[in-house]
Amino acid sequence: MKDEGAGLTKKVCILRLGHRPERDRRVTTHVGLTARALGAEGMYLASDDKNIKKSIEDVAGRWGGDFFVSNNVGWKRCINEWKADGGVVVHLTMYGIPMTSGIAEIKEHDKVLVVVGAEKVPSDIYGMADYNISVTTQPHSEISSLALFLDHLFDGSTLDLEFPDAELKIEPTERGKRFKD
C-alpha cells in the first residue's frame, strides 16, 4: 500500500486516457495530484509525455508518499493486467450509471483502477470496464469527477491523509500560510 501509516486498505490507481501533450498538461497534472492527495497510489498515462511524470513525481517527492506515474502505457494491456490481478475497473463517464447507485458495490473491492478520459475515449472502454460510473449525469471534468469518486470510495477518510517522509508539511492555520518545521 502507498501509505500503510494512514491505514488505507484499498489499492487505487488511475488510468488517464487521451492525454494530448500540447493541450492537456495542466489538466492531466491535476488529475495526478488530485489522485495522490485523495489516496491513490499512482497513475498510468496512456500517452508519451515524460514531463507529466517528472512534474507529478517532483511534487510527490517534496510533499511525501511514493505516488508513481507510469508513462506511455498501453491502456488495453493495463486494464487486462489489472483485472488478471483481481482488480476491478471503473470508467468515469457522464453516460454511466449514477455513482450514487454504483458506489456501494464498488466499495466491496479492494483493488480499483479508475479510468478517466480527456476529450473522447475509445468506445471499447465502455465494454472493458466493470463499471461505467457517472458523477451527477452532467458534463463536467475528469478532475472533479475523480475527486468526488475517490472521496466517496474512501468514505471521506483520505481528506486527512498523512504523507510519510514529506519535506513540506503545512501547519493548518486560520489565516496566513504556515509550514511545519
Ligand X SMILES: C[S@@+](CC[C@H](N)C(=O)[O-])C[C@H]1O[C@@H](n2cnc3c(N)ncnc32)[C@H](O)[C@@H]1O
Q: Which stretch in 35-43, 48-56, 66-74, 88-96 sits in contact with ligand X by CB under 6 A?
A: 88-96
Q: Shortest Cβ contact with ligand X: which residue?
A: 117
Query: Binding residue for ligand X (CB under 6 A) from 92, 112, 147, 150?
Result: 92
First vs last C-alpha separation in the chain: 27
Q: Report how far residue 54's alpha carbon sits from residue 52's, in angstroms, rounded to the nearest whole number.
A: 5
- Contact string 106-135 vs ligand X (x = CB under 6 A): ----------xxxxxx------------xx
Shortest reach from residue 132's CB to ligand X, in Å:
9
Cell of 6: 494512514
Secondary structure of residue 96 in the 3-state scheme: strand
Q: Report how far residue 149's alpha carbon sits from residue 172's, in angstroms, rounded to the nearest whole number.
A: 25
Query: Binding residue for ligand X (CB under 6 A) from 93, 113, 150, 153?
Result: 93
Query: Binding residue for ligand X (CB under 6 A) from 76, 105, 136, 155?
Result: 136
Cβ proximity of 66 and 166 under 8 Å = no
- Burial zone of 138 (CB within 10 Å; 0-12 exposed, 13-18 middle, 19+ buried): exposed
Secondary structure of residue 67 in the 3-state scheme: coil
Cβ proximity of 88 and 115 under 8 Å = no
Contact status: 142 vs ligand X (CB under 6 A): yes
Q: Which is nearer to ligand X, 131 or 163 (CB)?
A: 131
Contact status: 24 vs ligand X (CB under 6 A): no
Shortest reach from residue 134's CB to ligand X, in Å:
4
Q: What one-character DSSP code corresponds to residue 174? A: S
Q: Which stretch in 43-51, 66-74, 89-97, 152-160 sits in contact with ligand X by CB under 6 A?
A: 89-97
* Interface of this chain with ligand X, residues 55 to 84, rule: CB under 6 A: none
Site residues for ligand X per CB under 6 A: 92-94, 116-121, 134-136, 138-142, 145
